[in-house]
Amino acid sequence: MATSPTLPVDVGSLNIEDYKVEGPSSIYYIPAFVSEAEESLILRRVNEAPLPRWTQLSNRRLQNWGGDPHPKGMIAEALPDWLKKYTDSIGSIKGIFENSPPNHVLVNEYRPGQGIMPHLDGPLFYPTITTISVGSHAVLNFYRPLDCDDVSAESSQSSETSQMSSWSSRLEFSLLVQPRSLLILRDKAYDYYLHGIEEICKDELTDKVINAGVLGLSPGDELQRATRVSLTIRHVPKTTKPMLKLFGIRR
């Protein structure tokens, strides 16, 4: 049997501070976290999943692995080996998940023109979000939360115009996440700034993209989108084993 490809990054000896993105706390970005061979394998596994695994939303589709996250607890579902490999390797990065290893993976698939509305991930997964991207890049936008000035500015405009202008006026910074990269968000990047991906087919980089320079790109550069699959890998606390569910025992 062919062995599965290995990660190009040696996670055991990785010092996460070497990958810190200058700017708002705390963002870490590891380019080429997975190899091209792994990228192809991830895309193949995602696409092999049976159709009922997918939830179709208006602007993307998703697969949920590890159980249904719920504040009262999650009935844990064993992760398939091809995903466990990544929860294990990310869980072993020093200083990231500590004593709460990742146990949940949300797979999002975006075709060109699709995206995700600005949002916070909520308290359930606090304090860490990690994301592997494959297939294409994304520009992840970060917005400051609504304050009183925004509310009064909005009330003087029509609702459609105000929604669009209020998001762009609240844009604080963006990150370019390239295929095969790992992104780690903690602290204010988790619970203060909302994050979202615009529903467009081509990204034109601006001076708000704080990691463009280190990646050798400049404002004005254009990146055509292809289909992107992201694996959002997080820790859900309070899990129960599926066996208990069989006997109707709840927590």
Taking CB under 5 A as the rule, does residue 191 contact Fe ion? no
Minimum CB separation of residue 116 from ligand AKG in Å reads 5
Segment near Fe ion (CB under 5 A); pick from 5-13, 118-126, 139-147, 167-175: 118-126
- Residues with Cβ within 8 Å of 101's Cβ and at least 6 positions away in sequence, in order, are 87, 88, 91, 235
170 neighbors 146 (Cβ within 8 angstroms): yes
Figure out which of the listed residues 90, 106, 107, 210 binds ligand AKG, where binding follows CB under 6 A.
106
# binding residues, ligand AKG (CB under 6 A): 10
Q: Which does 106 bind (CB under 5 to 8 A by kind): Fe ion, ligand AKG, none?
A: ligand AKG
Tell me the two tokens of residue 32: 């080429």
Restricting to residues 43-102, name those near Fe ion by CB under 5 A. Answer: none
Number of residues engaging Fe ion in binding (CB under 5 A) = 1
Site string for ligand AKG, 108-147 (x = CB under 6 A): x-------x----x---------x------x-x-------
Q: Burial level of 57, CB count in 10 A (0-12/13-18/19+)? A: exposed
Give dist(CA 23, CA 174) in Å, integer.
11
- The DSSP output letter for 145 is P
- Residue 124, CA atoms < 13 Å, CB-side half-sphere: 17
Indicate which single residue of 121, 154, 172, 221 sits in contact with Fe ion (rule: CB under 5 A). Answer: 121
Contact 230, 131 (CB under 8 A): yes
| Least Cβ distance, residue 178 to ligand AKG (angstroms) | 12
* CA dihedral for 228, 138, 183, 217, sign (positive or negative): positive
Instruction: State how far the Cα of 205 lies from the Cα of 26, in Å rounded to an integer.
Output: 22
123 Cβ partners below 8 Å, 6+ apart? 71, 191
Binding of ligand AKG by 181 (CB under 6 A) = no
Q: Does 186 bind ligand AKG (CB under 6 A)?
A: no
- Give the residue with the Cβ less far from Fe ion, 121 or 221: 121
Q: Output 117 or 249, the one with its CB closest to Fe ion.
A: 117
Q: Any contact of residue 232 with ligand AKG (CB under 6 A)?
A: yes
Binding flags for ligand AKG, 33-62, as an x/- string (CB under 6 A)? ------------------------------
Q: What is the DSSP string of 24-90?
A: SS-EEEETTSS-HHHHHHHHHHHHHS-GGGEEE-SS-EEEEESS---TT-EE--PPPHHHHHHHHHH
The residues of the shown chain that bind Fe ion, judged by CB under 5 A, are 121
The residues of the shown chain that bind ligand AKG, judged by CB under 6 A, are 106, 108, 116, 121, 131, 138, 140, 195, 230, 232
